[in-house]
């Protein structure tokens, strides 16, 4: 069975500093990886995804994540954060169609990123 570990439950940083949110997964098959962002009292928004191809994927607001198969990781990075990046970030993994599971996602417990002025 697949699992996702987000190593940090909270990450406080100062504005304009770089940040890395760590995500490791466990799976016996090929996986598809996602990062979601959740602002207070809102649903989750898809931030970026890795399905195949280039192991480095980017979002429109400056975040990037790199798929590392040997380390089973999919860490999220941003070189310079803004106050508006304050939110909870969830890493998720899918093994795709598997015996009727039909694209179920397994989520990590989330990392609360707090950007301070």
Q: Residue 40 or 117: which CB sits closer to other proteins?
A: 40
Nearest to 21 by CA among 8, 34, 12, 5: 8
Tokens of 54: 């280039």
Name the segment binding other proteins (CB under 8 A); options: 16-24, 33-41, 64-72, 76-84.
Answer: 33-41
Does 103 help bind other proteins (rule: CB under 8 A)? yes
31-56 burial, b at 16+ Cβ within 10 Å, e below that, comes to bbbbbbbbeeeeebeebbbbeeeeee
- In contact, 1 and 93? CB cutoff 8 Å: no
When asked if residue 51 is in the footprint of other proteins (CB under 8 A), the reply is yes
Under the binding rule (CB under 8 A), the answer on residue 94 touching other proteins is yes
DSSP reduced 3-state for 85: helix
**How many Å apart are CA 33 and CA 35, to the nearest integer?**
7
| C-beta of 85 vs 88, nearer to other proteins | 88
* Least spacing, CB of residue 3 vs other proteins, in Å: 12
* Interface with other proteins, residue 7, by CB under 8 A: no
Can you give the binding site for other proteins, defined by CB under 8 A? 9, 32, 34, 36, 41-46, 49, 51, 90, 94, 96, 100, 102-105, 107-110
């Amino acid at each position: 069975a697949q699992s996702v570990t987000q190593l940090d439950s909270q990450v406080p940083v100062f504005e304009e500093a770089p940040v890395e949110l760590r995500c490791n997964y466990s799976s016996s098959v090929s996986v598809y990886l996602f990062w979601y962002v959740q602002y207070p009292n809102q649903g989750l928004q898809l931030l970026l995804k890795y399905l195949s191809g280039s192991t480095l994927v980017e979002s429109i607001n400056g975040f990037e994540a790199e798929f590392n198969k040997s380390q089973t990781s999919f860490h999220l990075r941003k070189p310079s954060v803004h106050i508006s990046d304050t939110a909870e970030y969830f890493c998720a993994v899918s093994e795709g169609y598997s015996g009727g599971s039909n694209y179920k996602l397994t989520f990590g417990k989330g990392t609360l990123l707090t950007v301070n002025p």
